[in-house]
Amino acid sequence: MANPMKIRAASKDGVTEIKILMNHEMETGQRKDSSGALIPAWYINEVKVELAGKTVLTAEWGPSVSKNPYMAFKVKGGKAGDKVVCSWTDNKGEKRTDEAAVS
Amino acid sequence: MRSQHIKASLLAVATVLTVSAQAQQDSTTAGIEAYREALQDGNPADLYVDSGAEIWKKKAGPKEASLEKCDLGLGAGKVKGAYAQLPRYFKDTNKVQDLESRLLTCMEKLQGVDTAPIIKAGFNSPQKADLVALSAYVSSESKGMKVKVSMAHPKERQMYDLGRRLFYYEAGPYDFACATCHGQDGKRIRLQDLPYIPSAEGAAKGWTTWPAYRVSSGQMWSMQWRINDCFRQQRFPEPIYASDVTVAISSFMAGNSNGSVMQTPGIKR
């Protein structure tokens, strides 16, 4: 099972800054292991972030995104106590959803 | 007359060149600093801190026990601030131990784990993964605290002295020592500043920022791993994991950085 993400969100003057650290190997499919065999690609390809029930960000990722990706962005609206929900799906079909409250 | 004029203008050109080279180096350094600062936020080492905290509480080994009763020097189970005071002398083992050698002792005594295969395993292997995560967790519990390494016990002083001798010890096919890279102030290799380990400030740059997450390799590195890699880069034989010699070099660094603030776990390029 995928490991949890770390989500932080803070609202100031009507703007909410959301910071998400994801836990994922993000294998490109280009690397070889010690025996020379190709390590199969394994990466997050869909990301969705909701703030107070409304989708505020969707992204389609590929193998060029780093291991343990970190994403930070600002969005208009949102207030303390609102729920931030982030979910991703990787190319193996594995999913993970985590949430946090805006401070 | 004419040649003097040329000389003077050459000198002027030379001065301009040095000034701009200096300015460029300064802006490069500032750029690296800005990059480091940007990395601080969202340090993936935090993910290892969380998994380390879980491993700490998880029952494991033949004795089905957790590490929660492990004494890291401040009493059984006390993690807060323990890392800032390591390495230190432990009565029960009659040895100066760093965090990782102490964790091995706890695994043996509390959990009944045979640590020989862990010691032998490579740093990239799954056997070492728990220790790396644990070192992230334990070190995070000393973040913001001052390094306070004791030199009161004769064995602690002995360890520090051994570390200092090792630091200057030249050997290997390249006739290298730690001091070859870290024995002068203000030097750098490629774009990395090389801390001058014998000074308080230089030692702190290394000691207070490891264990760390390395962005370039996407790996969490413990202090033992970092030290091992220094020896590998010097083309020394790699020291045995958690052996006295590795604790000694840590004692030397920790002792020199006494009073500096722990920033663990760190993040490196």
Q: Which residues pair with A72 in a beta bridge?
A: A19
Q: In this complex, do A68 and B51 lie within 8 Å of one another by their Cβ atoms?
A: no
User: The pTM is what?
Assistant: 0.83
Interface touch A70/B44, C-beta < 8 Å? yes
Instruction: Provide the pLDDT for residue B28.
Output: 76
Dist CA B213 CA B121 (whole Å): 20
Contact (Cβ atoms closer than 8 angstroms) between residue A82 and residue A100: no
- Report CB contact under 8 Å: A72, B42: yes
Among B35, B46, B47, the residue to mutate for chain A (most A Cβ within 10 A): B47
Contact B51 A6 (CB under 8 A): no
The predicted pLDDT at position B193 comes to 83
pLDDT in tens, A46-97: 999 999 999 999 999 999 999 999 999 999 998 999 999 999 999 999 999 9
Query: Which residues of chain A are within 8 Å of residue B41 when distances are taken between CB atoms?
Result: 19, 70, 72
The Cα–Cα gap between B255 and B198 comes to 10
The CATH code for residues B45-268 is: 1.10.760.10
Interchain CB distance below 8 Å, B46 and A67: no
Reply yes or no on whether B106 is catalytic: no
What tokens were used for B158?
Answer: 């002995």
Q: What is the pLDDT of residue B20?
A: 62
CA distance B66 to chain A (A): 21
What's the token pair of residue A70?
């970190």
The minimum CA-CA distance between B42 and chain A, rounded to whole Å, is 6
Q: How far apart are CA B245 and CA B231, in angstroms?
A: 11
Domain boundaries, chain B: 1-41, 45-268
Residue B132 CB neighbour total at 10 angstroms: 22
Q: Which residues of A touch B (CB under 8 A)?
A: 3-4, 6, 19, 21, 23, 26, 66-68, 70, 72
Q: Which of A68, A74, A96 to mutate to test the interface with B (most CBs of B within 10 A)?
A: A68
Q: Which of B248, B226, B250 is nearest to B238 (CA)?
A: B226
Contact A3 B47 (CB under 8 A): yes
Taking CB atoms and an 8 Å cutoff, what residues of chain B touch A19?
Answer: 41-42
A vs B: CB pairs below 8 A: 28
φ/ψ region of B62 (left if φ > 0, alpha if ψ in -120 to 50, else beta) reads alpha
Of B47, B50, B51, the CB nearest to A68: B47
Contact A19 B50 (CB under 8 A): no
- Both tokens of residue A74? 């600002």
pLDDT for B189: 84
Decide: B212 and B89 in contact? Cβ < 8 Å. no
Q: Which domains does chain A have, with CATH numbers?
A: 6-101 (2.60.40.10)
Nearest to B195 by CA among B134, B260, B140, B123: B260
What string of pLDDT tens digits covers the 269 residues of chain B? 455 665 555 555 555 555 566 666 677 778 877 877 777 788 899 999 999 999 999 999 899 999 999 999 999 999 999 999 999 999 999 999 999 999 999 999 999 999 999 999 989 888 899 999 999 999 999 999 999 999 999 999 999 999 999 999 999 899 999 999 999 988 888 877 899 999 999 999 999 999 999 988 889 999 999 999 999 999 998 999 999 999 999 999 999 999 999 999 999 87
- Contact residues on chain B for A67, CB-CB shorter than 8 A: 44, 218
Instruction: Check residue B131 and give its pLDDT.
Output: 95
Q: Locate the chain A residue with the closest alpha carbon to B214.
A: A67
pLDDT digits (tens, 9 = 90+) for A2-32: 788 999 999 999 999 999 999 999 999 999 9
pLDDT at A88: 96
CA dihedral defined by B106, B112, B117, B118, rounded to 10 degrees? -30
